[in-house]
């Protein structure tokens, strides 16, 4: 990645940070992830800079829940999620954070 960044002059547009809680179910090879506290860098793009400031990209009560599976979703997993108050979306944490960064920079 470093070589590509140097030779092609690639630069990051945003740093995306979040806390992930992950679970694996062997039956069906199911991966469940809860991505919480989605944050976007607002003052810098150096991943290793401790002075980078982050801003919440989503309200704290919202999280991104993903289900990934190879074969099928087991019935007990499907039963757990069917009655829950969730909305189905195609979501990109990168796009959410990039838009958040653009809004913050625009108003500075």
CA distances from 100 to 30, 32, 52 (A): 31, 26, 15
3-25 residue pLDDT tens: 988 899 888 899 999 999 999 99
How far is it, in rounded angstroms, from Cα 12 to Cα 57? 17
Q: Pick left, alpha or beta for residue 37 (phi over 0 → left; psi -120 to 50 → alpha; otherwise beta).
A: left
Token code pair at residue 7: 């030779």
Q: What angle do CA 84, 95, 19 make, to 5 degrees?
A: 55
Q: pTM of the predicted model, to two decimals?
A: 0.81
Q: What is the pLDDT of residue 107?
A: 65
pLDDT tens-digit profile of 43-54?
989 888 999 999
Residue 108 has pLDDT above 60, yes or no: no
């Amino acid at each position: 990645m470093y070589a590509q960044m140097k030779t092609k002059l690639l630069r990051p547009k945003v740093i995306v940070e979040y806390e992930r809680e992950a679970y694996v179910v062997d039956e069906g090879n199911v991966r469940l992830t809860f991505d919480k506290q989605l944050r976007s860098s607002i003052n810098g793009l150096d991943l290793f800079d401790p002075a980078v400031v982050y801003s919440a990209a989503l309200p704290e009560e919202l999280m991104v829940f993903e289900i990934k599976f190879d074969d099928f979703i087991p019935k007990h997993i499907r039963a757990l999620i069917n009655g829950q108050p969730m909305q189905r979306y195609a979501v990109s944490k990168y796009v959410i954070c990039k838009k958040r960064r653009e809004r913050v920079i625009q108003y500075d």
